[in-house]
Amino acid sequence: MVKVLSVNSGSSSIKFKLFDMPAEQVLASGMIERIGLKKSVTTIKWDGQKFKDIRDIKDHEDAIGIMLVFLKKLEIIKDFSELQGVGHRVVAGGEYIKAPMLVNDEVAEKVRELSKLAPLHNPAAALGIRLFRKLLPNAISVVVADTAFHQGMPAKNYLYSVPYEWYEKYSIRRYGAHGTSHEYVAKEAAKMMQKPLADLKLITCHLGAGASITAIKDGKSFDTSMGFTPLAGLTMAKRSGDVDPSALQYVMNNSDIKDINEMIDILNNKSGLLGISGVSEDMRDVEKAAEEGNKRAQLAFDIFEKNVIKYIGQYIAELQGVDGIVFTAGIGENSWSFRSKVMKDLAYLGIKEDRDNNDTFGKNVFISTPDSKVKVMRIMTNEELVIARDTYDFMEKSPAEKASANVTKEQISR
């Protein structure tokens, strides 16, 4: 058995899960928040216990060092050498990361270069990769990109209707996001439906703070709602989703917003459920306020729900039918009332809600009745596990295969 860390490095936080592989047992999970600020918070959960530490953590290197030391102090690991694999989540893999990749210097540099496609996310991932390689020189590193699953999309679905040279010169295209989650829940759905994934037409709805919907055909992503960046598609917690670009020009011509970066920041951080409701970015607060009669909160709920219905409808048309619809992530997994509303609006497809199953928590279940023409499922996503699995796969591979992945001799001899 080996221990594998699954890591998600953000600009001011690092989240991790430690797995015992191949048993897929979670040994610990945790998070370091407020990196670079005063009173940074480290939390670690393991074996039914919880540990919290507050101190100033000056940078990511400091944070990873502290995290590793705590893992040892809390006796979750005996020695750092037990950590043999580290899998990193990368938001933008561009057209370079089409599948999980073993990290060598070239791959690490590519992740950094791809920061131009995800300036808020990739620099932190690149930093995390560099630091874990430095601090755990005996572990292999693997990158798993959020965009990789969508690399299978046909060009007719990933190209925008803009001058073709933009694609050639600037790589402007739809990359999508949440690919690890969409692929994972699609595979789980196929298991539940007891059919090969390749034979199913599925629509997976990842509805969390960030939200995206994917149409899956032949086991591959066929179309997806997020675009060049994760700003596009559905209304989200704070993100606008799709907007006519001319509206931005109009506001900029008629307000004191003159900088496009400021405008994009508004679309990323002050829009979506928060912008419409004026109450909160959190669906729980929005639903509560709507129940209490807040009209704008009700409107935010309705717009989000309409967006979901609209994309599902569009993808049914593109797929020429659908066998199963999956709900996952924060809202998709936890809000029975949201799922219930969507299912009512999809009744025309022969979908009937299984109210008892829809009311349950924390399990993968069919939430449509057995006689429903289209199966609807609530599936708990597990991106960290996918990253750990992909990392472990590389650890299992022979040195020859590692060599073909273009790693250095030193790495192979580890």
Binding-site positions for substrate read 89
When binding is defined by CB under 6 A, the residue of 39, 270, 284, 414 that contacts ligand ADP is 284
Site for ligand ADP in 334-353 (CB under 6 A): 334-335
Measured CA to CA, the distance from residue 74 to residue 109 in angstroms comes to: 34
DSSP class per residue in 52-114: EEEE---SHHHHHHHHHHHHHHTTS-S-GGGEEEEEEEES--TTT-SS-EE--HHHHHHHHHG
395: contact with ligand ADP by CB under 6 A: no
Closest-by-Cβ residue to ligand ADP is 330
Shortest gap between Cβ of 132 and ligand ADP (angstroms)? 21
Query: Which part of the chain contacts ligand ADP (CB under 6 A), choosing from 13-21, 61-69, 290-298, 325-333?
Result: 325-333
For residue 146, indicate whether it is catalytic.
yes
When binding is defined by CB under 6 A, the residue of 86, 329, 342, 365 that contacts ligand ADP is 329
CB of 399 within 8 A of CB of 12?
Answer: no
Adjacent-strand bridge partners of 213:
205
What does DSSP say about strands 25-33 and 375-378: parallel, antiparallel, or unpaired?
Answer: unpaired
Closest CA to 273 of 260, 257, 259, 289: 289
210: contact with ligand ADP by CB under 6 A: yes
CB of 256 within 8 A of CB of 244?
Answer: no
Closest to ligand ADP by CB, 125 or 283: 283
Closest to ligand ADP by CB, 311 or 327: 327
Q: In which element (H, E) is residue 31 found?
A: strand 25-33
Shortest gap between Cβ of 31 and ligand ADP (angstroms)? 12
DSSP class per residue in 240-257: --S--HHHHHHHHHHSS-
Adjacent-strand bridge partners of 220:
217
Shortest gap between Cβ of 329 and ligand ADP (angstroms)? 4
Residues annotated within the binding site for Mg(2+) are: 8, 383
Measured CA to CA, the distance from residue 6 to residue 105 in angstroms comes to: 20
331: contact with ligand ADP by CB under 6 A: yes
When binding is defined by CB under 6 A, the residue of 190, 283, 342, 365 that contacts ligand ADP is 283
- Binding-site residue total for ligand ADP (CB under 6 A)? 12
Fill in the per-residue mask, 190 to 209: x = in contact with ligand ADP (CB under 6 A), - = not in contact. Answer: ------------------xx
Measured CA to CA, the distance from residue 132 to residue 247 in angstroms comes to: 44
Given 146, 223, 323, 390, which residue is catalytic? Answer: 146
Shortest gap between Cβ of 57 and ligand ADP (angstroms)? 21
316: contact with ligand ADP by CB under 6 A: no
Shortest gap between Cβ of 287 and ligand ADP (angstroms)? 6
Q: HSE (CB half, 13 Å, CA atoms) of 186?
A: 29
Per-residue exposure over 292-322, b if at least 16 CB sit within 10 Å of its own CB, e if not: eebeebbebbebbeebbeebbeebbebbeeb
347 contact partners, CB below 8 Å, separation of at least 6: none
Closest to ligand ADP by CB, 70 or 184: 184
CB of 372 within 8 A of CB of 352?
Answer: yes
Shortest gap between Cβ of 336 and ligand ADP (angstroms)? 8
Adjacent-strand bridge partners of 49:
46
**Strands of 25-33's sheet in order across:** 49-55, 40-46, 25-33, 14-21, 2-9, 83-90, 140-145, 101-102
Query: Which part of the chain contacts ligand ADP (CB under 6 A), choosing from 42-50, 141-149, 252-260, 330-338?
Result: 330-338
Fill in the per-residue mask, 72 to 111: x = in contact with ligand ADP (CB under 6 A), - = not in contact. Answer: ----------------------------------------
Residues annotated within the binding site for ATP are: 15, 206-210, 282-284, 330-334
Shortest gap between Cβ of 55 and ligand ADP (angstroms)? 25
379: contact with ligand ADP by CB under 6 A: no
Tokens 């929005």 appear where? 286
Site for ligand ADP in 230-259 (CB under 6 A): 237
Binding-site ranges for ligand ADP (CB under 6 A): 208-210, 237, 282-284, 329-331, 334-335
- Catalogue the active-site residues: 146
